[in-house]
């Protein structure tokens, strides 16, 4: 177990949490148990801490919250070892940008606003998703794309027909079309997206159509190619992720275009 102190490597491969001494393994957790505050509740908190691998554990604070709940703060030692060389980091294929950086990239790379047209297509009246991404109100503490000065946003709202969406995309010179689909009865979301991509293929010359991005809680993000769209976003996507992706995709497209 002394390999974590091995002086021959730059950084230790195996580490433990650090309280005030290397290797002490100290952690602090807080939680609530649905028990009235008494000795038994404190014992229960200790039991939970032990089962979490905290041993010895010390209940440093216990407070009744009403007659049926108790809040605990527990300090103690964990014996788990963190193997740093086995940590796997998920790398997304584009960089997350702040609104400021996204705006700067659009200004520099496009030299004009990035035009985004959004809608819910077919019978879907659930604008929750598209509004969370586009409206300035935003989602999860992030402002929507309307907040981005270099994005020109047209939110067409709900129950937009595919031909109408194509016409609007052409009229606005859309760089990107964002479609949100919540209703999934009889796989309506998949049928609608296939209709959408077919219509855009017909309406635009090859390779010139806007980016097509779809989103909704029931989409599988790996199905993008199969559905003929550029990107699928699933549940919990924030406006910043969408904006960052659009900037990434547009800038790459520009590069490709200027390479030719």
Partner 1 sequence: MTNLLHLPADDVTRARALAAEAGAPVVAIARAHSTSSVERAVLRLAGICGADVDGTPWVNRLVDEVAAQVGLESGVALPVWNALEQSEDLVTLAQRAAAGRVDFALPTGPAREVAMANATRAVSLGLERIDSQRRHRELLVASLATPKRPWIYLIVATGNINEDIPQAQAAAREGADVIAVIRSTGQSLLDYVPEGATTEGYAGTYATQENFKLMRAALDETSAELGRYIRLTNYASGLCMPEMATLAGLERLDMMLNDSMYGILFRDINPIRTFVDQRFSRQIHARAGIIINTGEDNYLTTADPIEAAHTVTVSQLLNEFFAHEAGLADWQIGLGHAFEINPDTPNSFQLELAHALLARELFPDAPLKWMPPTKHMTGDIFRGYLLDGFFNLAGMLTGQDILLVGMMTEAVVTPWLSDRDLALQNVQYVRNAAAGLRDDFHPSRTGLIAVRGRHVLAEAIGLLDRIADTGLLNAIADGTFGLMHRPANKGKGLAGVITKDPYYFNPASLLLEGPVSA
What is the b/e burial string over 164-197, where b = at least 16 CB atoms within 10 angstroms of the residue's CB? ebbebbeebebbbbbbbbbbeeeebbbebbeebb
Q: Per CB under 8 A, does 35 bind partner 1?
A: no
Count of CA atoms in the C-beta half-sphere (13 A) of 72: 28
**Cβ proximity of 61 and 72 under 8 Å:** yes
What is the b/e burial string over 218-240, where b = at least 16 CB atoms within 10 angstroms of the residue's CB? ebeeeebeebebbbbbeeebbbb
Taking the complex as a whole, the smallest distance from the CB of residue 258 to partner 1 amounts, in Å, to 32
User: What mask of x and - would describe binding to partner 1 in positions 70 to 99, judged by CB under 8 A?
Assistant: -x----------------------------
Q: How many CB atoms lie within 10 A of CB 58?
A: 13
Nearer Cβ to partner 1, position 160 or 229? Answer: 160
Which residues in 54-73 contact partner 1 (CB under 8 A)? 63, 65-66, 69, 71
Taking the complex as a whole, the smallest distance from the CB of residue 34 to partner 1 amounts, in Å, to 9
Q: Per CB under 8 A, does 234 bind partner 1?
A: no
What residues are labeled active site?
Answer: 137
Q: Per CB under 8 A, does 127 bind partner 1?
A: yes
Instruction: Kindly list the residues in this chain that would bind partner 1 in the complex (CB under 8 A).
Output: 30-32, 63, 65-66, 69, 71, 126-128, 131-132, 135-137, 140-141, 143, 146-147, 149, 155, 157
């Amino acid at each position: 177990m002394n390999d974590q102190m091995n002086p021959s490597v730059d950084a230790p491969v195996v580490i433990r949490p650090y309280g005030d001494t290397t290797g002490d393994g100290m952690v602090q957790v807080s939680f609530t148990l649905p028990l009235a505050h008494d000795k038994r509740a404190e014992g229960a908190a200790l039991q939970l801490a032990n089962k979490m691998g905290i041993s010895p554990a010390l209940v440093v604070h216990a407070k009744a919250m009403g007659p049926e709940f108790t809040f605990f703060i527990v300090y103690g030692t964990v014996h788990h070892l963190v193997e740093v060389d086995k940590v796997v980091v998920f790398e997304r294929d584009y960089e997350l940008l702040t609104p400021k950086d996204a705006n700067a990239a659009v200004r520099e790379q496009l030299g004009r606003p990035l035009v985004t047209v959004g809608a819910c297509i077919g019978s879907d009246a659930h604008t929750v998703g598209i509004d969370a991404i586009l409206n300035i109100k935003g989602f999860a503490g992030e402002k929507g794309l309307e907040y981005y000065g270099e994005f020109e946003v047209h939110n067409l709202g709900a129950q937009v027909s595919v031909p109408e969406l194509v016409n609007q995309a052409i009229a606005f010179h859309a760089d990107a079309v964002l479609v949100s689909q919540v209703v999934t009865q009889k796989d309506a979301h998949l049928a609608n997206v296939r209709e959408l991509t077919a219509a855009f293929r017909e309406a635009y010359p090859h390779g010139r159509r806007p980016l097509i991005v779809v989103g909704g809680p029931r989409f599988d993000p790996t199905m993008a190619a199969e559905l003929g769209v550029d990107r699928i976003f699933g549940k919990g996507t924030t406006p910043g992720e969408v904006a960052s992706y659009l900037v990434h995709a547009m800038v790459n497209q520009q590069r490709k275009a200027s390479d030719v």
